[in-house]
Amino acid sequence: MRVGVLGGGQLGRMLALAGYPLGIEFRFFDPNAGAPVGQIGQLIAADYGDHAALERFLEGVDVVTYEFESIPVSTVRFVAERMKVFPPVKALATAQDRLLEKQLFDDLNIPTPPFAAVDQIQDLQRAAARIGLPVVLKTRRMGYDGKGQAVIRDAASLDAAWQQLAGSPLLVEKYVEFQHELSVIGVRDTTGREVFYPPIENVHREGILRKSTAPAPSVTPELATLAIEYCRRLMDRLAYVGVLALELFSVDGELFANEMAPRVHNSGHWTIEGAETSQFENHLRAVLSLPLGVTTQRGNSVMFNIIGHIPPVERIMAVEGAHLHLYGKAPTEKRKVGHVTLVAQTSAGLERGSIELGLALGLGSNDA
């Protein structure tokens, strides 16, 4: 079995590390010849528009998946005309456009903060009046990790926000004062069978995920069931195959969908040690039509991202039960270069370990 993976970052690298024990071979495609997967697998480095290179990439491959959600849909369509591609192109196209994504949520009765498309300043003014400030103006496409967004807290800032982002297709939505950011990770196979990991609680700072805790301490069993039900609706509608992550806000005991990612997800990295089958292995099982693995948890897990620079690894590895994952990337500011997961049998044990690990990682109290 050989899986072709579009994108060669850390998610691709972790897919390969999960797949090698299953006897799966990999070929990666990434415009960057120095992509992290190059150290551990076969990499074809070419532009996503290079059809000859894509043809080479497909030779001898059994199925194609992707690990990066900003891959041009045209690339995935080109591949899909020649080869099975999972998750389906439609999921990728929807996730790449915040407006289509919110409309899908609406259509499936998944609550989402009020939103509107913005093509001109008048759209923004009208929507802000209807929704009520504060609102967030966002590009419909390609924003991630907090880029391409402007929060508007008063009417006087509408113009400045418009000036900042105009030129791209935009949407505006209610700025949500959430208590918690959550995510749900589901897996669906080619026969429609589905498994889910328990909801995860996430902490972002500067738009970048810092910490994930699973299961989410703030989530009641009822809310967990509801979050999973939302993820299930999305997967069923999209005839989804693979891992889907749905990000949600929790506000006064209610859930609002924020966005979805049609790929393995940073908030699911804890599953490598914290669940019986990791999200990476289950994604591969799904796209290869193999039986899905159970998602049973091994305890309570916390994951910290390593961002910008790598603290002394000896200190991290001296924390009992800390599992270090480095991605083979050159550290630069705001870049995710690794993560650490800790699994404990009790939430008290997890809290103790988190404090120790936070010190080893040199985190401030905001992130630990």
Say how far apart CA 207 and CA 253 lie, in whole Å: 23
- Shortest distance (Å) from residue 13 CB to its own copies: 8
Q: Does 17 bind its own copies (CB under 8 A)?
A: yes
Residue with tokens 């091994």: 298
Closest to its own copies by CB, 114 vs 311, is 311
Contact 140, 97 (CB under 8 A): yes
Q: Quick one: 192 or 291, whose CB is closer to its own copies?
A: 291
In the complex, the smallest distance separating the C-beta of residue 273 from its own copies, rounded to whole angstroms, is 8
Measured from the CB of residue 17, what is the shortest distance to its own copies in angstroms?
Answer: 6
First vs last C-alpha separation in the chain: 41
x/- binding map, residues 41-60, to its own copies, per CB under 8 A? x-------------------
Instruction: Indicate the residue among 180 and 325 with the shorter CB distance to its own copies.
Output: 325
State the minimum distance, in angstroms, from the CB of residue 298 to its own copies: 6
User: Binding to its own copies (CB under 8 A): which residues in 18-37?
Assistant: 20-23, 25
Q: Is the dihedral of CA 98, 250, 218, 357 positive or negative?
A: positive
Segment interacting with its own copies, rule: CB under 8 A, options 57-65, 123-131, 147-155, 314-322 = 314-322
Amino acid at 125: Q
Name which of 155, 95, 71 is nearest 121 in CA terms: 155
Q: Which of 342, 338, 272 is nearest to 301 (CA)?
A: 342
| CA separation for the pair 46, 141 (Å, rounded) | 23
Query: Mask: binding to its own copies, 249-278, rule CB under 8 A, as x and -?
Result: ---------------------------x--
Cis link prior to 198 (omega < 30° from 0)?
no
Stretch that binds its own copies, among 12-20, 98-106, 134-142, 245-253 (CB under 8 A): 12-20
Burial of 167 (0-12, 13-18, 19+ CB in 10 A): exposed
Residues in binding contact with its own copies, number by CB under 8 A: 32
Q: Which is nearer to its own copies, 152 or 340 (CB)?
A: 340
Are 102 and 139 a contacting pair, CB within 8 Å?
A: no
Q: What is the footprint of its own copies within residues 273-312 (CB under 8 A)?
A: 276, 285, 290-291, 293-294, 296, 298, 310
* Cα atoms in the 13 Å half-sphere on the side-chain side of 21: 9
Pairing relationship of beta strands 300-307 and 208-214 according to DSSP bridges: antiparallel
Residue with Cβ nearer its own copies (52 or 330): 330
Phi, psi of 84 (to 5 degrees): -60, 130
User: Using CB under 8 A, which residues numbered 328 to 357 contact its own copies?
Assistant: 328, 338, 343
The site for its own copies (CB under 8 A) is made up of: 13, 17, 20-23, 25, 39-41, 276, 285, 290-291, 293-294, 296, 298, 310, 313-314, 317-318, 320-321, 323-326, 328, 338, 343
